[in-house]
Amino acid sequence: MTDDVLLTFNAGSSTLKIGIFELAGLQARNVGRGKIDFDQSSLMLRYSIGDGKYEKPVKGDNDANFVSVVAETLEHMLAHLPGGLRAVSHRVVHGGMMFREATLLDDAAIDRIEKLIPLAPLHQPQALGVIRSIEKLRPEVRQVASFDTAFHSSQADLVRRLAIPRAMHDNGVRRYGFHGLSYKYIASQLRQIDPARAGGKVIACHLGSGASLCAMEDGISRDTSMGFSALDGIPMATRPGWLDPGALLYLMRSGMRQPERIEDFLYHECGLLGVSGISGDTRVLLEDNGPEAAEAIDLFCLRISGEVGRMCATIGGLDALVFTAGIGENQPQIRAGVARRLQWLGIEIEDDANRRNSTSISTASSQVKLFVIPTDEEQVIADEAVALIA
């Protein structure tokens, strides 16, 4: 048995996604994926390896017994793989000002990641839970962390600055940006699809339950819609996006005083769910004929197109607009709604190509090229790990 397996862990607030890779030299080849949904009363590990699909009940929970969840996950998955476990790599949401690239994990690095919990209180502890579990279960296995914020560290200090006292900025209260692993993958894919456009001014729209935009020049991040936290920017499934701080002051004076209550409100009760009163899922809203659902979708498209306009000011124009993630890759109505509001940029969408979710969805005469590119954060996590452990 050879040590030729790499696992990637993407720990969200309520899910654990796993990528399964075989290592061949300096290449990580994806051979399977898995997922555990912690919102389910009885935990189930669902995964595929090659053509095989598996479901296994998992004991433990998302809290004190989390190590048992990881232990059973490793046991089930590795039983179907020919090699041993060589390395494990993790998506860590926040790298703060400390981590500008992927890093090998040792005690010092893990402690630094732990100190960043206040910046990402819902996601950072989840990633640390997996890291600590692997450390306990397989201390001989090398671990790597990839950071969602690292891709945006190339942004100018002016772009990252909030209009607050300088000392606060210097102490870390600044715009960081997220979904960086997704944008790194999109930049690499666009270079293969259309090298000329990829070398120019590009805005990528990562549209899922969490959503943001990133403006790039020659594949380098110059601006992004999310700022200090993953609450900022455009409206999302259950998060509000931009919100006047005065509105929060009003809510606090009206009785919403506990930080935990405010946090739950902002992460779980706003966004498309709040506007529609129906759902935060755009698939549900697009099938609903009610005016509230239509208003939520229209607001989503309005804010996305408005953010594209703002970012054009940062990078000085636009050569290509890319849609990615669950909504961006699969919902033609959303893409068309955004494109209609951006006709002033010379954008023309090709309706048939858009309905088919084709890679290129702009007309031949469109001044800005439109692309639909599936993202793959797990591949980026694996590639960054291979580069470090090679």
Is position 329 annotated in a ligand binding site?
Answer: yes
Q: What is the Cα–Cα distance from 260 to 257, expressed in whole angstroms?
A: 9
Is position 65 annotated in a ligand binding site?
Answer: no
Burial of 118 (0-12, 13-18, 19+ CB in 10 A): exposed
DSSP 8-state class, residue 151 = G
The average pLDDT across 202-229 equals 96
Whether 352 sits among the annotated catalytic residues: the reply is no
pLDDT for residue 1: 36
Q: What is the Cα–Cα distance from 158 to 180, expressed in whole angstroms?
A: 19
Q: Is 203 helix (H, G, I), strand (E, B) or coil?
A: strand
For 135-165, how does the pLDDT look when each residue is reduced to its tens digit (9 = 90+)? 999 999 999 999 999 999 999 999 999 999 9
CB 294 within 8 Å of CB 176: no
Is position 327 annotated in a ligand binding site?
Answer: yes
Transcribe 73-128 into DSSP letters: HHHHHHTT-SSEEEEEEEEES--TTT-SS-EE--HHHHHHHHHTGGGSTTTHHHHH
Give the tokens for residue 168. Answer: 């606060």
Is position 328 annotated in a ligand binding site?
Answer: yes
For 257-272, how does the pLDDT look when each residue is reduced to its tens digit (9 = 90+)? 999 999 999 999 999 9
Is position 60 annotated in a ligand binding site?
Answer: no
Nearest Cα to 308, choosing from 227, 203, 235?
203
Is position 169 annotated in a ligand binding site?
Answer: no
Is position 209 annotated in a ligand binding site?
Answer: yes
Q: Is the model's pTM score more than 0.85?
A: yes
Residue of 111, 148, 157, 319 with catalytic role: 148
Is position 330 annotated in a ligand binding site?
Answer: yes
Q: Which range (64-78, 159-173, 205-219) has the least confidence? A: 64-78
For 49-97, how does the pLDDT look when each residue is reduced to its tens digit (9 = 90+)? 988 998 888 886 656 567 888 888 888 888 888 778 899 999 999 999 9
Domains of the chain and CATH, by start? 3-147 (3.30.420.40), 194-372 (3.30.420.40)
